[in-house]
């Protein structure tokens, strides 16, 4: 009667253990200041055009002549059109009819496996955002892991020894901040097309890309026949608490005679009743020139914090990736420490909190995630303390 596969899912230990150790430290050192460099949430507010749009739409809901009840399950056409325009600004054609508005990337990433059988062979990079693994383990699907390591820049590529049907890719990645270039993504698209696999591409951090690597998998020819792209306004526009995202399921994606777009529409219209109208109006405002400029200001600020962190790691001669097209920096723990040993030592000696890499998978052991969502000053202070401690020896 009960789904015992829930027993296969590792307990979510990482952030509760971080909180427990921080609490212990606070009790022992009530007078010491702590800097949080482990935050995975945004810290800057919504920009004014977005707030104004949400307020105006909320007011509409209070008037008989503008009130709206249930909206279209796939999202309002005005928002799907705006998202399609955003893709166009990246030089990519995505038909509004292929776009599904959601309450965020996590729900869609968790729900998309409904389109696949429970014996479908899933491939997930390690280390990675744990939702991909946990959602498949809950359904009892066999999961294989793909090693992301320092040697491959934490950007593993396919080879013919792989036997995967459903492949998760995240670029720029969480936790590593590493982003695939065109050649790397082309390899994946070619693999998926040759093997009739499907790529679930998580582009939640695309708006941080400044280096010219692809911001969408649809920059790669043929991706519309093998890839679903999941994106979110959480990091793009500070919507972590407002909740809105979007997923592209191209109508050209067909496997075993089944059209995945039609299946997803059927699934969503059966199990979901859309996203709040004021939130969709707020999301529409993100894609106006004023909205895009406001969001860019926040992302630029996060990237400045990331640059502060990167500079100090460079000075210290510590290997890292990320931080250029991403709010995350993924550093090797100094002195051969394991992830938790470095967490404890950094906390004790510098009063800085980060995230142990081992919490994101086996290959994360010996690495550590720093995030740039704390302000620039906080980042500078945290890194000065880390450098001071490491140089003291």
Least distance to ligand PLP from the beta carbon of 355, Å?
A: 12
Q: Which segment (100-108, 188-196, 288-296, 375-383) binds ligand PLP by CB under 6 A?
A: 100-108
Least distance to ligand PLP from the beta carbon of 307, Å?
A: 20
Contacts of 123 (CB under 8 A, 6+ apart): 143, 144, 145, 146, 162, 164, 166, 167, 168
Looking at beta carbons only, is 127 or 294 nearer to ligand PLP? 127
Least distance to ligand PLP from the beta carbon of 327, Å?
A: 10
Q: Does 229 bind ligand PLP (CB under 6 A)?
A: no
**Are 77 and 283 contacting, i.e. CB atoms less than 8 angstroms apart?**
no
Q: Does 232 bind ligand PLP (CB under 6 A)?
A: yes
What's the CA angle centered on 158, arms 195 and 144, to 5 degrees? 85
Least distance to ligand PLP from the beta carbon of 232, Å?
A: 3
- Other residues' Cβ atoms within 10 Å of the Cβ of residue 298: 20
Q: Does 283 bind ligand PLP (CB under 6 A)?
A: no
The C-alpha atoms of residue 50 and residue 16 are separated, in whole angstroms, by 33
Least distance to ligand PLP from the beta carbon of 365, Å?
A: 20
**Are 211 and 324 contacting, i.e. CB atoms less than 8 angstroms apart?**
yes
Least distance to ligand PLP from the beta carbon of 231, Å?
A: 8
**Taking the mean position of all CA atoms in its chain, how far away is CA 105?**
8
Q: Does 104 bind ligand PLP (CB under 6 A)?
A: yes
Q: Does 136 bind ligand PLP (CB under 6 A)?
A: no
Q: Does 234 bind ligand PLP (CB under 6 A)?
A: yes
Within 106-125, which residues bind ligand PLP (CB under 6 A)? 106
The C-alpha atoms of residue 383 and residue 377 are separated, in whole angstroms, by 10
How many of the chain's residues bind ligand PLP (CB under 6 A)? 13
**Are 312 and 320 contacting, i.e. CB atoms less than 8 angstroms apart?**
no
Residue 170: which H helix or E strand, with range?
strand 166-170
Q: Which segment (101-109, 274-282, 286-294, 344-352) binds ligand PLP by CB under 6 A?
A: 101-109
**Are 386 and 353 contacting, i.e. CB atoms less than 8 angstroms apart?**
no
Q: Which residues bind ligand PLP (CB under 6 A)?
A: 40, 104-106, 129, 170, 174, 202, 204, 232, 234, 240, 245
């Amino acid at each position: 009667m009960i789904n015992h596969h829930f027993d296969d899912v590792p307990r979510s230990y990482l952030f509760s253990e971080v909180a427990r150790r921080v609490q212990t430290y606070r009790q022992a050192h009530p007078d010491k200041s702590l800097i949080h460099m482990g935050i995975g949430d945004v810290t800057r507010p919504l920009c004014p055009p977005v707030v104004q749009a949400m307020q105006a739409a909320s007011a509409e809901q209070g008037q008989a002549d503008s009130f709206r009840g249930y909206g279209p399950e796939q999202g309002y056409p005005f928002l799907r059109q705006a998202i399609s325009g955003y893709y166009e600004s990246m030089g990519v054609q995505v038909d509004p009819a292929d776009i599904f508005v959601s309450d965020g990337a996590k729900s869609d990433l968790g729900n998309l496996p409904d389109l696949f059988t429970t014996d479908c062979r899933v491939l997930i990079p390690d280390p990675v955002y744990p939702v991909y693994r946990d959602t498949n383990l809950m359904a009892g699907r066999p999961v294989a892991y793909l090693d992301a390591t320092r040697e491959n820049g934490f950007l593993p590529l396919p080879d013919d020894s792989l036997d995967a049907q459903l492949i998760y890719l995240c670029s720029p990645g969480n936790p590593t901040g590493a982003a695939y270039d065109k050649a790397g993504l082309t390899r994946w698209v070619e693999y998926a097309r040759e093997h009739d696999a499907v790529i679930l591409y998580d582009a939640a951090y695309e708006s941080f890309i400044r280096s010219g690597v692809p911001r969408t998998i649809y920059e790669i020819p043929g991706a519309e026949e093998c890839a679903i792209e999941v994106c979110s306004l959480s990091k793009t526009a500070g919507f972590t608490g407002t909740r809105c995202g979007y997923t592209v399921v191209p109508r050209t994606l067909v496997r075993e005679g089944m059209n995945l777009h039609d299946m997803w529409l059927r699934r969503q219209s059966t199990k979901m009743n859309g996203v709040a109208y004021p939130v969709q109006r707020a999301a529409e405002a993100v894609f106006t020139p004023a909205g895009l400029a406001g969001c860019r200001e926040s992302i630029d600020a996060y990237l400045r914090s990331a640059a502060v962190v990167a500079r100090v790691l460079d000075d210290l001669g510590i290997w890292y990736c990320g931080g250029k097209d991403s709010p995350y920096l993924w550093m090797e723990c100094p002195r051969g420490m394991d992830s938790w040993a470095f967490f404890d030592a950094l906390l004790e000696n510098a009063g800085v909190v980060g995230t142990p890499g081992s919490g994101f998978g086996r290959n994360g052991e010996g690495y550590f995630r720093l995030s740039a969502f704390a302000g620039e000053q906080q980042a500078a202070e945290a890194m000065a303390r880390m450098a001071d401690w490491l140089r003291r020896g």
